[in-house]
Structure 1
Amino acid sequence: MDIKTFEDLIEWARQLHGHLSRCLSESSTENQGERARALLAYLADHESELERITAEFEKQAETKALKTRLYDYLNSEHHPIKTHRTCDGHYDDLDFDGIVREIFDFHDQLIDLYDSLAGKAEIPEAKELVESLRAMEEHEAMRLARQIGMMDDV
């Protein structure tokens, strides 16, 4: 996806969460580990919810912020988010800890991207929007960590 505006960024992030949800869901029936299957199913639901929440940002953000161009994103040294863009069964063979590492790495990359863009935002409305996205990702990552910690205790 060609990301030119903050609106594009939100759509791209929404699609990432949705895609990850579908991949995790598919793997939740294929993974041989009982704990891993339960984790994958939980994470699929969580990512689906993040897809919905991210879409709300697009509905509620100010048009001025949404239409702001992301010149620095296109010209920066920022590398695209590393995730499995095809549902190729990658999560089928990972154990519980491997899945956890990959999911938190994904969320950390999004948080870093939002943090970088907040520092480059040219108008206050765009800065506020991307800071809100970052805060949502951070909050959800913390919530996820608590939930996974409880699963790990079981």
Structure 2
Amino acid sequence: MNIETFQDLIDWTRQLHGHLAECLKHCATQQEEARAKWLLEYLADHEATLEQTVAGFEKQADPKALHTWVYDYLSHAPIAPHQVCRSPYAEMSFDDICRTIFSLHDQVIELYRYLEGRAEIPETRELVRELLKLEEHESMRLAQQTNRARDM
């Protein structure tokens, strides 16, 4: 996907969470270890909810912010989850799944932090700040839930 505006960035984020939800759900059906299967199902639901939440940003955001060009994204290394779900999570352990998912979320958070510091107008800075808060909050929530599951 070619990201040129903040609207493209939001759409890319929404698609990222949606793709991840589908892949995790698919892999859960093939996972043999019970705890890892539960984790994949939980993560799939979580990512699907995030997809819906991020979609809401497209509807409520200031049009001025949405149509602002994202120049700095082009110099940032793109985040590429498994583009075609070939069941990588079905073969991973609970801890490997956690590491992979948290790494992906950390990359999204890092991208938003990077862009927040470079946003030139207040509307885009506020939009990126809100997206960043969402991603950080959801990442913390995931960490709490997976730590509880790990303790079981």
TM-score of the two chains, using structure 2 as the length reference: 0.98
DSSP-derived class of the 1:87 partner? coil
List runs of 5+ in structure 1 lacking aligned partners. none
1:70 corresponding residue in structure 2: 70
Residue type at the aligned position of 1:29 = T
Runs of at least 4 residues of structure 1 off by over 4 A? none
Offset of residue 62 of structure 1: 0.3
1:149 corresponding residue in structure 2: 147
RMSD: 0.7
CA distance in 2, matches of 1:73, 1:145: 27
**Identity between Structure 1 and Structure 2 (%):** 55
Query: Matches of residues 50-61 of structure 1 in structure 2 within 5 Å?
Result: 50-61=50-61
Residue type at the aligned position of 1:126 = T
TM-score of the two chains, using structure 1 as the length reference: 0.97
CA distance in 1, matches of 2:91, 2:73: 34
DSSP-derived class of the 1:86 partner? coil
1:12 corresponding residue in structure 2: 12
DSSP-derived class of the 1:136 partner? helix
2:30 corresponding residue in structure 1: 30
Q: Which moved further from structure 2: 84-93 or 15-24?
A: 84-93
CA distance in 1, matches of 2:31, 2:146: 17
Offset of residue 82 of structure 1: 3.2
Q: How many residues align?
A: 152
CA distance in 1, matches of 2:57, 2:49: 13
Residue type at the aligned position of 1:99 = I
List runs of 5+ in structure 2 lacking aligned partners. none
